Every structure is written in C-alpha cells, then in structure tokens.
C-alpha cells in the first residue's frame, strides 16, 4: 500500500513538472492535485488500516456472512463445552449487541421505560435512604466514566445429534475484547460471561429480531424474484434462438 501511494505521488509530481515546463493554467491545476490527492489517499489508507486492526463485533441476526456465522457457531460450541452439554447440534442462533449502560439512544422502547423507572426509584432514595442514594449515584457516575464493554446476547437452539429432539431455546452473554498483539495489531477474543434467562432477554430483543426477520424475508423474496426473472430471460433467449433456426 505504501509503495502504491509513493508511485502515485511520483507520477503526479512528474506530471506537474512537465506541466510547469509548458506553463499555463494546467500547471496550477496539477499543482493543486499533487497536494490534495496524496492527502486523500493517506487518509483512506489510515482508516482502512484502523478498521482491520480494530475489527467489529459479531454481526446481528440474519445478516451474517460466512465468517460471522462460523464465529457465532464456535462461540456457542464453546459455551456448550463449558456447561458440559455434549452431543448437541446448533440449529438456530441470533446475536444482538447489548446497549451501553445509561445510553438511552441504543435502548429499545421497553428498555427506555425500565431505565426511566429505575432512575426514578433511585431518586426516591434521596429522602427515604440518603446513604443508599449516595451509593447508587456513585455507581452511576462510575459506570458513565468507564469505557463500555462490548457485550452481546446470544440466543440459540440445539437438538440431540442422534435422536433429533429439539431443546428449549437458550441464551448467554459474551464479551468481545481486543487483545493487543503488537503496536499495530489487535486480536479479537470472545469470553463467555454468564447464562441468561431466554424469556427475560426476549422481552427487549423481540422487537429487534422481528424487524430483522422481516428485512431478511424481504431480501429472500427479492432474491427469489431476481432469480426467476433471470431464468425467464434465459428461456426467452433460448426460445428466440430456436425460432431463428426454424
């Protein structure tokens, strides 16, 4: 990448030199280009490099690529191994990022309502239990200052590999961490935090999952229509070719 940038800069410099020898407005234009373009290329290079180093969390829901799907499957298998649940196949999964503490812009409508009620409960302690109120406010202040953890809720369903009996859906929480390898690179690690109550988590996840499922269904339908049109166009061409030969 660095060599590529150097080659482009060298080419622009040579072009500007030739234009300067000829004089005129072309010289001014190329002089501006030789200043601006390398800056833009360097910015693009830095942004791409940073994205590669930092990575992203597991993709949510149905919009996972093959790499994301493998990562989710591996994480679920890791969890099953930890709880010593053997001989199971993963038949369904859904991943959603947990909102950061006190960041209402990331919360669902239900979470915002529950958060509001929790804050009102804490405020009421100011008169009923000042010491408890002070402790709660210190906790909130500490949480707001701390760097938020990247937490995900993983919903999944398994079945017995031999009998094919399907288990009740389950859930657990995991954290994605970036572990520094060297000054320039980080490695993603996923730690299992704790098992969760599936029904309790689905109270706030359902609205997200339903919306995601609808979008995924529309995408599948659009793909199906495109495939059907492609088949029809191909058949029309074949029919036309046959008519011309007859």
pLDDT per residue as tens digits for the range 27-37: 555 566 566 66
Same domain, 96 and 11: no
Same domain, 76 and 162: yes
pLDDT at residue 59 in the model: 44
Residue showing tokens 């000829």? 22
Kindly state the average pLDDT of the residues 200-215.
94
Distance of CA 183 to the CA centre of its chain: 24
Q: How far apart (Å, rounded) are the C-alpha atoms in residues 99 and 148?
A: 9
Query: Three-state SS for 197?
Result: coil
pLDDT at residue 56 in the model: 45
Query: Three-state SS for 113?
Result: helix
pLDDT at residue 53 in the model: 42
Same domain, 91 and 184: yes
Q: Minimum mean pLDDT among 10-19, 32-41, 66-75, 175-184: which range?
A: 10-19
User: Which tens digits make up the pLDDT trace of 222-245?
Assistant: 999 999 999 999 988 888 888 887
Query: Three-state SS for 154?
Result: strand
pLDDT at residue 11 in the model: 54
Residue showing tokens 């937490």? 151
Answer yes or no: is 166 within a domain. Answer: yes
Same domain, 68 and 130: no
CA distances to 7, 11, 35, 63, 95 from 14, rounded to whole Å, are 11, 5, 13, 47, 53
Q: What domain range is 134 assigned to?
A: 110-145
Same domain, 24 and 41: yes
Residue 76: CB partners within 8 Å, gap ≥ 6? 90, 93, 154, 156
Q: What is the pTM of this model?
A: 0.65
Work out the percent of the chain whose per-residue pLDDT is above 90. 60
Among candidate residues 89, 120, 145, the one where a domain is terminated: 145
Same domain, 83 and 65: yes
Query: Three-state SS for 69?
Result: helix
Same domain, 78 and 197: yes
Residue showing tokens 């009102």? 120
pLDDT tier at 184, thresholds 50, 70, 90: confident
């Amino acid at each position: 990448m660095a060599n590529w940038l150097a080659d482009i800069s060298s080419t622009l410099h040579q072009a500007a030199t030739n234009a300067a020898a000829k004089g005129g407005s072309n010289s001014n234009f190329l002089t501006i280009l030789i200043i601006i373009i390398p800056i833009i290329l360097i910015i693009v290079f830095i942004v791409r490099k940073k994205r590669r180093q930092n990575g992203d969390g597991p993709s949510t829901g149905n919009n996972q690529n093959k790499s994301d799907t493998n990562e989710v499957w591996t994480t679920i298998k890791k969890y099953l191994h930890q709880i010593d649940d053997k001989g199971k196949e993963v038949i369904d999964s859904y991943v959603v990022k947990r909102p950061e503490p006190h960041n209402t812009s990331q919360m669902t409508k239900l979470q915002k309502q529950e958060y509001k009620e929790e804050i009102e409960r804490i405020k009421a302690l100011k008169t009923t239990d000042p010491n408890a109120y002070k402790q709660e406010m210190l906790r909130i202040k500490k949480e707001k200052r701390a760097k938020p953890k990247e937490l995900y809720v993983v919903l999944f369903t398994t079945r017995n590999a031999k009998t094919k009996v399907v288990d009740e859906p389950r859930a657990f929480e995991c954290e994605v961490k970036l572990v520094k390898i060297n000054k320039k690179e980080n490695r993603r690690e996923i730690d299992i935090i704790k098992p969760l109550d599936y029904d309790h988590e689905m109270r706030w996840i359902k609205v997200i999952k339903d919306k995601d499922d609808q979008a995924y269904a529309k995408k599948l339908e659009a793909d199906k229509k495109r495939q059907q049109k492609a088949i029809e166009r191909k058949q029309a061409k074949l029919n036309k070719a046959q008519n011309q030969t007859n």
